[in-house]
Structure 1
Amino acid sequence: MDQSFDLPDSTDWVGTPLSLLAPLESSLRCQVCKDFFDNPVITSCSHTFCSLCIRRCLSTEGKCPACRSSDQELKLRRNWAVQELVDAFMTARPSVLGLARAEKERLKKGEDDTKQLAKKRKVSRVAEEETQVAEVSSQGRRTRSQRTTRTSVEALIAPQSIPEVIEDSQDDDEYIPEDGMVACPICSQKMKEEAVFTHLNVHTEEEAQPPKPAPFGSLMAPPQKDLTLGKPPDRIPAINYSILKDNSLRKKLRDLGIPEWGPKPLLQRRHTEWMNLWNANCDSKNPKSKRVLLSELDIWERTQGGHAATPSPFLSSSNVMRKDFNANEWSTNHDDDFKRLIANARKKSEAQIRSTIPGASESSSGPAQAQPQQHAEALPPNGARIENNPGSDANNTIDLSG
């Protein structure tokens, strides 16, 4: 596998003889970014997160991501013990994981060899049985004299094949001639007898000095001294953006040394992100320089800030979940959209009424309209005469002109 795509994960231990290390590694990872803890801090509800991750969550929602209880950035405390555990585990992880994977491959190869060897033994056993049957059938029964002769020959050859071992019981020490030199009782170094006491004083001085610890890998190496012995940087306090005007907020950004362009919502988000980066850096044993923090802010600017691609309305509508959401400003800015949606809804409603109501009215009022039409056809126009009989009787004629 290409190492550039080999991302470390707790599931790397699954399937190896050290699979029990998977939950251990999972407990050393942040629940927000799923990576190893970076400057871990503990909340008031006893949950541990990366300093930057929990600060971003609290500045957005004001709640713990694990238990959803309310919390504040002022209550966060650094967790040095977890940081030391993470550092030690990350140092030992590549070697231990390599050994676990090598052992996995060895066991797998051993199983394959065992299966292959068992198969070979089975085949050889069958072949041997067939050979024995063939020999018995070809030779027939042996005579008693042949068996006796073979037994005697084997009895003569057997003692000669066993080697005889004679132990040397002579434990005499090697003779060493005397040369007038005396051995030091501590280091066994040969010297003259009058120099022994002076040499013993040297050993006494060496024992008085504290022994230097022998490092065993990087885990037993002496801890590095904190180079940041000076005054720690001051943290950036949170501010209430609703009471600040645009010029005041721009002045604060200018004083912090970060960009001040853009509308007020963008200024607020930029100040919040810089505050989270700066305060999280204050929790680190080895703080980053301001130049590095500015580069991280530039990455945020290009991905989520003013230089980021314009999000769709569905993505931007998620801002209503923020705790500092201004409903009045939202309604004012989107008043035209609301009016357009209402007008479209009314048009659709009227069109639906036109398409459904006329058909229903014709079916319901059809008989009622047919009767007046019949009466209208029966009545003549104004000035016409209605005669009851076709005869010429003038008395039966009704004049309607009048």
Structure 2
Amino acid sequence: SDASDWAHSALPSLSQLDALQRCLICKDILQVPVITSCNHAFCLLCIRQHLQIDSSCPLCKSEQFESNLKRVILLEELVACYRALRPDLLRLLQRDGAGSDGPSSKNGSPKRDQHVQTDLASCPARCPTPDSSGPTETRATEVVEISDDDSGMNTVQCPVCGKHMDPKHLQESHIEYCLRGEQEPRRTRVARPLKTPASERKRGISLFFQVEKRVRASPPPRLSEPVDHLLFYFNQAHKRRHDAKRLPKIDFSSLSTAKVKEKLAALRLSTLGSRDQLELRYNQYYLFYNANMDLNRPATELELRQKLHQWEKSHQSFLAPRATSTIYGDDLKSRSLADKDFPVRSWLKRYKSEFRALARAARASHKTRL
């Protein structure tokens, strides 16, 4: 999704509201928004990962610290509410925008916008049934809510009051009010002359008195319970535990590999892999775990471990095998340039010849152009 989705809707200015609720780092709608000391909002996980590499605000470049990040529960609920409403709101506004630009009906406006007053006084409550030998009948009658697709709809005559209407409406509600002598609750109606062949009218009446076959409909799919953001903000947010223990940041240089594995095992995490992989695993789980504690609706530890497993499957450091036969081996290929401990000198020394070859090729191509 993108803020430009609103450009072709009936309300394109909503793109500003959409853009304001997006994280500058991941470009997605805010997840667990936090405010920095410079009053800029980011996703909690995004800004924590950023501050591990660069201790400045991505927007204004002011110095920031992880301890200065503050949650805003109201903003989180507003964003969650917008995220839930966005698909339906976008669909409605795009449909309305397309409908306003589309061609009108033959009468100059859609049928649902036609409001014709019916002169009910001109027709008595019990109109006599016309001769069935006549091919057609033209009458000004009340018809309930005729939609755009009802032009070919068959109508039937009520055997009590003589009014013409949709068979389904007659059978479901009208006949009960009519038999009791009560006036049916008034609904939005569209009046227009109807020309109904006598044969079609007879067939509609016969269908009305047929016994309806009961078909057991399949139960509707269960939808997730709607989230009441107001109820949560005013009644549930204060019930969250604020004394829960967070995972500590570990100084791996002071720990042996056995100790690192012991800490991973205590968290029920995998202890397989090289030393670097063990450290990456703990650091990433440290981010997931502490960010999850700030969620209004936190995930379980099992879900966090599954999320970590998915992260490892997509992370290059866990995909490429690491060579240990040389000092550097293939370890540099699987390291990220954004890593705080990236060995820049080793990288330059290893690829110096390739850099020089590329520089010579660039100079040569520049001279040929001149």
Q: Smaller-chain TM-score range?
A: 0.5 to 0.7
SS at match of 1:226: helix
Identity value in percent:
29
Distance in structure 1 (CA, Å) of the matches to 2:227 and 2:106: 37
Shift, 1:16, TM fit: 2.0
Distance in structure 2 (CA, Å) of the matches to 1:114 and 1:313: 75
Distance in structure 1 (CA, Å) of the matches to 2:262 and 2:105: 72
**Other-structure match for 1:133:** none
- Higher relative helix content: 1
Q: Where do 5+ consecutive residues of structure 2 fail to align?
A: 109-225, 323-328, 357-370
Distance in structure 1 (CA, Å) of the matches to 2:99 and 2:314: 46
Q: Where do 5+ consecutive residues of structure 1 fail to align?
A: 1-7, 116-217, 346-402
Distance in structure 2 (CA, Å) of the matches to 1:341 and 1:319: 19
Q: Compared with structure 1, are the counterparts of its residues 317 and 271 closer, same or farther at alpha carbon in structure 2 (3 Å cutoff)?
A: closer
Q: Compared with structure 1, are the counterparts of its residues 100 and 249 closer, same or farther at alpha carbon in structure 2 (3 Å cutoff)?
A: same
Distance in structure 2 (CA, Å) of the matches to 1:89 and 1:222: 13
Q: Compared with structure 1, are the counterparts of its residues 315 and 101 closer, same or farther at alpha carbon in structure 2 (3 Å cutoff)?
A: farther
In the alignment, residue 264 of structure 1 is paired with which amino acid? Answer: R
In the alignment, residue 308 of structure 1 is paired with which amino acid? Answer: L
SS at match of 2:34: strand
Trace 1:187-206 onto structure 2 (pairs within 5 A): none
Distance in structure 1 (CA, Å) of the matches to 2:78 and 2:96: 25
**Other-structure match for 1:223:** 231
Trace 1:12-27 onto structure 2 (pairs within 5 A): 12-27=5-20
**Other-structure match for 1:182:** none
For 1:214-259, what per-residue CA distance to the aligned partner results, in whole angstroms no more than 9, with x for missing partners? xxxx798751453964565311122223333323322222222212
CA contact (8 A) 1:30 1:48 kept: yes
Trace 1:155-234 onto structure 2 (pairs within 5 A): 223-224=231-232, 225-226=235-236, 229-230=240-241, 232-234=243-245
For 1:305-342, what per-residue CA distance to the aligned partner results, in whole angstroms no more than 9, with x for missing partners? 65424699798386454333456xx74xx79x74x977
CA contact (8 A) 2:316 2:334 kept: no
**Other-structure match for 1:275:** 286
Equivalent position to 1:261, from 260, 269, 272: 272
Equivalent position to 1:323, from 330, 340, 347: 340
SS at match of 2:236: coil
The reply to whether residue 100 of structure 1 matches residue 97 of structure 2 is no
Equivalent position to 1:79, from 43, 56, 72: 72
CA RMSD in angstroms comes to 4.0
Q: Compared with structure 1, are the counterparts of its residues 49 and 221 closer, same or farther at alpha carbon in structure 2 (3 Å cutoff)?
A: closer
Q: Which protein shows a greater Rg?
A: 1
Equivalenced residue count is: 234
SS at match of 1:49: strand
In the alignment, residue 55 of structure 2 is paired with which amino acid? Answer: G
For 1:140-183, what per-residue CA distance to the aligned partner results, in whole angstroms no more than 9, with x for missing partners? xxxxxxxxxxxxxxxxxxxxxxxxxxxxxxxxxxxxxxxxxxxx
In the alignment, residue 316 of structure 1 is paired with which amino acid? Answer: K
Trace 1:113-192 onto structure 2 (pairs within 5 A): none
Distance in structure 2 (CA, Å) of the matches to 1:296 and 1:313: 27
Shift, 1:277, TM fit: 0.2
Shift, 1:271, TM fit: 1.3
CA contact (8 A) 2:31 2:44 kept: yes
Distance in structure 1 (CA, Å) of the matches to 2:230 and 2:39: 30
Q: Compared with structure 1, are the counterparts of its residues 81 and 315 closer, same or farther at alpha carbon in structure 2 (3 Å cutoff)?
A: farther
Q: Compared with structure 1, are the counterparts of its residues 59 and 341 closer, same or farther at alpha carbon in structure 2 (3 Å cutoff)?
A: closer
**Other-structure match for 1:162:** none
**Other-structure match for 1:250:** 261
Distance in structure 2 (CA, Å) of the matches to 1:71 and 1:80: 21
